[in-house]
Amino acid sequence: MSNPNFARSKDNYPPLVYFYSGRTIPRYAMITLKKVAVTWPAEVYFLHNSPEPPAIEGIIVEDFGAWYSPDLFEAVRATTHMDSEFREGFWLHTIERFFVLSQWLEVSGNSRLLHAELDVRLFSHGDLFTRLDEIGPAVYMPRASLQQAGANWLYCNGRDALRLIVDEFCRRAGEGFEMQLLARFMDDFPDKVRAVPSHTALENADPSKVQFPVVDIRDIGMVVDVHPLGTWMLGQDRRNIPHQPVFNHFFYEELGSEKLRNIRYHYSWKNHRLEVRHKGGPRYPLVALHVHSKVMRRAHSPYALALYAWLANQNFDSVVIPQKLCAYFRFVGRATRDSVYLSLKRLFSRET
């Protein structure tokens, strides 16, 4: 059954386009696809090159190899300094999707699309797309900092703007990795590549203190997570820390800061959505949450979201994924014991 909060704005919604390059579709991706199949009010596409694609009712599954020309991207691959071995070419795939999405717009005849990564939890967008269309044709993405922006959520309402990004990747592939380059594109082409409000609009009491150009949160009244809101609430990818538990209250340097402590989370049972605010400020609906820890079942559970929203607001850290938990507590116990021993040793040494 479709979510009524989505259905009210059906006419304004663009097609939702997912991309995955790899042989095996991860389990968290399947959870996402099955959920959006019954909640997103417009068409949902899954572009893949897997030999065993999923069959999900409500999802249009396409092998992009049937129409995609990789020639331009191969030129980028030849000049980039990104680690091609990391997670089966993860960094290269993040760039290639722009080439695939741009060509999909041409092949499909669509003039706009929403792209989301498969570990992003989408909520109702209300009239967000109408408001962005009124601002003008561009590629809209959340920006994390002066140094980095992200395409975990990307709205394009102008083919030329997406082609511009493709051209810039071809021209500047050797200058950095994807998130760094996207931030530079925003600086160099402010009318074609625009930032939507992210955590940076909520870190200070005054939203205008954001250090880079961004669509004013007071104009569109919504927030898109690029990364830190999700890791602060649900932690990071367990593969990054295989020998210890995953905790909340986490952020990466250049993406977040200690100012995340100024942000408060709330799950609205009435509107079936997460809301965020600066402490003491007004609440804004969160339209996309980047679940870096990949706990997508919990991200789609209202009970889990309400619990983790409450935990995110606390001063103490909470376990999200209890891997290696016993080993971690043994380590903490030994460290505490050693610290107490050294303190007592110094104390008695001074007395004698």
**Residues 24-78: pLDDT tens digits?**
899 999 999 999 999 999 999 999 999 988 899 999 999 999 999 999 888 787 6
Q: What is the mean pLDDT of the chain?
A: 89
Statement to judge: residues 336 and 315 lie in one domain: no
Pair of tokens at residue 73: 């991207």
352 and 282 inside one domain: no
Q: Name the band, by pLDDT with cuts 50, 70 and 90, for residue 344.
A: low
Question: Can you give the pLDDT at residue 81?
Answer: 56
User: d(Cα 162, Cα 98) in Å, to the nearest integer?
Assistant: 7
User: Do 306 and 185 have their domain in common?
Assistant: yes
Whether 200 and 333 map to the same domain: the answer is no
Instruction: Indicate if the pLDDT at residue 176 is higher than 60.
Output: yes
* Residue numbers of the domain that contains 223: 4-321
Give the pLDDT confidence score for residue 86 in this predicted structure.
43
How far apart (Å, rounded) are the C-alpha atoms in residues 45 and 64?
Answer: 11
CA-based end-to-end distance of the chain: 76
Answer positive or negative: Cα dihedral of 96, 6, 199, 137: positive
Same domain, residue pair 202 and 334: no
Q: For residues 183 and 100, give the distance between their C-alpha atoms in angstroms, rounded to a whole number.
A: 20
Confidence tier at 7 by pLDDT (50, 70, 90): very low
Q: Which two tokens stand for residue 210?
A: 């954001």
Report pLDDT for 175: 82
For tokens 């930032």, name the residue: 195
| Same-domain check for residues 291 and 341 | no
pLDDT band at 14 (very low <50, low <70, confident <90, very high): very high
Token pair belonging to 59: 């999802």
Q: Does the pLDDT at position 8 exceed 60?
A: no
pLDDT in tens, 236-264: 999 999 999 999 999 999 999 999 999 99
For β-strands 223-224 and 193-196, DSSP reports them as: unpaired
Q: Is the dihedral of CA 145, 151, 155, 156 positive or negative?
A: positive
In this structure, the answer to whether residues 120 and 54 fall within a common structural domain is yes
What are 212-229's pLDDT values in tens digits? 999 999 999 999 999 999
pLDDT at 87: 43
Query: 39, exposed or middle or buried, with CB in 10 Å at 0-12, 13-18, 19+?
Result: buried
Same domain? 170 vs 240: yes
**What's the rounded Cα separation, in Å, for the pair 47 and 29?**
12
* Range list of β-strands (E), 176-297: 193-196, 223-224, 246-247, 263-268, 273-278, 284-290
- Clarify whether residues 217 and 334 are in a common domain: no
Question: Which pLDDT belongs to residue 77?
Answer: 77
Higher pLDDT, 4 or 133: 133
Q: Are residues 206 and 294 in the same domain?
A: yes
3-class SS string, 277-319: EECCCCCEEEEEEECCCCCHHHHCCHHHHHHHHHHHCCCCCCE
Do residue 338 and residue 310 come from a single domain?
no
Tally of CB atoms within 10 A around 83:
12
What is the number of structural domains in the chain? 2
Q: What is the mean pLDDT of residues 326-347?
A: 58
Looking at the structure, tell me whether residues 246 and 337 fall in a common domain.
Answer: no
